[in-house]
Amino acid sequence: MGGNEPELDGVLNSPPSSRLLDITRVLRRAGRVWTGVDRVELAYIGALVADTVPVWGLARTPLGYVLLDRAGLIAFHARLTGAAPHTPPDLLARLQRGWHPRARAALTDARKLAVARCLPQGLARMLRRNLPAGTAYLNIGHSNLSERVFAAVRGLPRSRISVFVHDIIPLEYPQYQRVGTAEAFARKMQRVRRFADLILYNSADTQARTERAMAAWGEVPRGIVAHLGTVPVAPDAAQLPCGLPPEGPYFVTVGTIEPRKNHALLLDIWARMGPDAPVLLICGSRGWNNEVVFARLDALSPKARVREVRGLTDGALAALIQGAQGLLFPSHAEGFGLPALEALALGTPVMCSNKATFREILANNALYLDDSAQELWEDSVKEWSIRARDTHRVVGFSAPTWEAHFKIALTLT
């Protein structure tokens, strides 16, 4: 186990003097459609600034690191969520090539709201000057898991390090990753194994898979499971672009268009069903290593029964999901699957691949099909498409809450 071995149990079982939350991921991803991991990190910011334990935020920037106090975190969170306007990007932010304009603004905000800044080599000194002994570092977003950060935190007396592992898909399915990603992810997880005192998991399935992989490298850190919460989003059809929702029954699939999401299966099914098929709405941005699927999407005619939909607001997406005959989730691999929970909470049935994570999270509230059983998927889609929508709804589903998540997650962090 990482860190302060002899005194670890005492450290973990006592409240921290303060918490240091890494916010690097949401800073850099500002302006994009938030992924599930992004939304978890945002939920942690909201929960920690509302807690009685003092909290700080740490972010890696192009020139080094910035440290925010509670007031700075509150203001930064408001800007990320749209509750307050961003500051116009300064010169340093404007020089960042490839960054989304809102990410440049978020970088400017982080620098202006910071109570301390440092070059990379000054991180340990900055933390010692500002943070008390007994600080608990939390990394939620799989970003900034560097030896420099871990060593700097470990330099604080009685510190503890907790890391949230959402999945190890790059280790288990390297064929779905960009070149070099799997190797970099493996090195990142090896550092987590060496330094973490505690690993948080979104499911028992993720814990089992991660611990099996880490056991090959050495002793495995202590772990706890806390299912992710959901935040109800009010459907707002007024935010939908022209032409949506489509007329007649339709299905939705939600997520980045990447190989492991298995959009190819759905495209094959819709190609076989032809012009009489219900509409399929593929909601999500394009990812990587998926040129064949991208080419099929680009070749769709305006009258096709498959449509690619990007850039929807949360309210618009919720409206589409609520009106659908079903949410389709044929993933080859999944860490948690928040869209499935959110669909059930909106009353929309879920058809998903027969994976242990889905069964753990969704229990008997979904239809499970093998991720390669095209005929079963096609038959099920046809059956669901002819059902009366009002008699096909999910009733009485209680989605897991963030309150329940944090009761578990913050007991030892």
Two structure tokens written together for 260: 């492991």
Residue from 407, 233, 230 nearest 315 by CA: 233
Residue from 379, 106, 389 nearest 269 by CA: 379
Q: 408 in a domain, yes or no?
A: no
Residue 14's pLDDT band, with cuts at 50, 70 and 90, is: confident
- Percent of the residues in the chain that have a pLDDT greater than 70, as a whole number: 97
CATH number at residue 175: 3.40.50
pLDDT at residue 4 in the model = 41
Domain C-terminal end among 171, 191, 225: 225
Q: In terms of domains, do 339 and 387 share one? A: yes
pLDDT in tens, 106-126: 999 999 999 999 999 999 999
Q: Is 239 exposed, middle or buried (0-12, 13-18, 19+ CB in 10 A)?
A: middle
Residue 7 above 80 pLDDT?
A: no
Residue 237 CB contacts under 8 Å (≥ 6 apart), including other chains: 245, 316, 319, 323
Q: 401 in a domain, yes or no?
A: no
Q: Is 93 exposed, middle or buried (0-12, 13-18, 19+ CB in 10 A)?
A: buried
pLDDT in tens, 284-336: 999 888 999 999 999 999 889 999 999 899 999 999 999 999 999 999 999 89
Report CA-CA distances (Å) from 323 to 55, 151, 244, 276, 326: 41, 50, 11, 19, 9
Q: In terms of domains, do 196 and 104 share one? A: yes
Q: 350 in a domain, yes or no?
A: yes
Number of domains in the chain: 2
Q: In terms of domains, do 35 and 147 share one? A: yes
CB of 328 within 8 A of CB of 381? yes
Q: In terms of domains, do 200 and 285 share one? A: no
Residue 5 above 50 pLDDT?
A: no
Q: 231 in a domain, yes or no?
A: no
CA atoms within 13 A on the CB side of 291: 2
Render the burial of 358-388: b for 16+ CB within 10 Å, e for the rest: bebbbeebbbebebeebeebbebbeebbeee
Q: What does the CA dihedral 291, 297, 299, 301 come to, rounded to 10 degrees?
A: 180
Render the burial of 82-91: b for 16+ CB within 10 Å, e for the rest: eeeebbebee
The mean pLDDT value for 266-291 works out to 94
What's the one-letter identity of residue 13? Answer: N
Q: In terms of domains, do 91 and 176 share one? A: yes
Q: 232 in a domain, yes or no?
A: no
Q: In terms of domains, do 291 and 379 share one? A: yes
CB of 31 within 8 A of CB of 100? yes
Q: In terms of domains, do 244 and 206 share one? A: no
Report CA-CA distances (Å) from 30 to 34, 42, 63, 107: 8, 11, 18, 9
Q: In terms of domains, do 251 and 184 share one? A: no
Residue from 138, 117, 147 nearest 129 by CA: 117
Residue 11 above 70 pLDDT?
A: no
CATH number at residue 371: 3.40.50.2000
Domain C-terminal end among 180, 200, 225: 225
Domain that holds residue 262: 237-391
Checking DSSP bridges between strand 367-369 and strand 350-353, what pairing results, if any?
Answer: parallel
How far is 404 from 82, CA to CA, in rounded Å? 26
How far is 95 from 103, CA to CA, in rounded Å? 12
Q: In terms of domains, do 244 and 199 share one? A: no
Q: 400 in a domain, yes or no?
A: no
Q: Mean pLDDT for the chain?
A: 94
pLDDT at residue 3 in the model = 45
Q: 135 in a domain, yes or no?
A: yes
How far is 92 from 207, CA to CA, in rounded Å? 40
How far is 125 from 383, CA to CA, in rounded Å? 63
Q: In terms of domains, do 59 and 194 share one? A: yes
pLDDT in tens, 50-81: 999 999 999 999 999 999 999 999 999 999 99
Domain C-terminal end among 190, 225, 260: 225
Q: To 5 degrees, how large is the angle CA 42–CA 15–CA 20?
A: 35
Q: 382 in a domain, yes or no?
A: yes
pLDDT at residue 180 in the model = 87
Report CA-CA distances (Å) from 283 to 19, 66, 290, 321: 36, 35, 16, 10
CB of 262 within 8 A of CB of 331? yes
Q: In terms of domains, do 211 and 285 share one? A: no
CB of 208 within 8 A of CB of 202? no
Q: In terms of domains, do 59 and 199 share one? A: yes
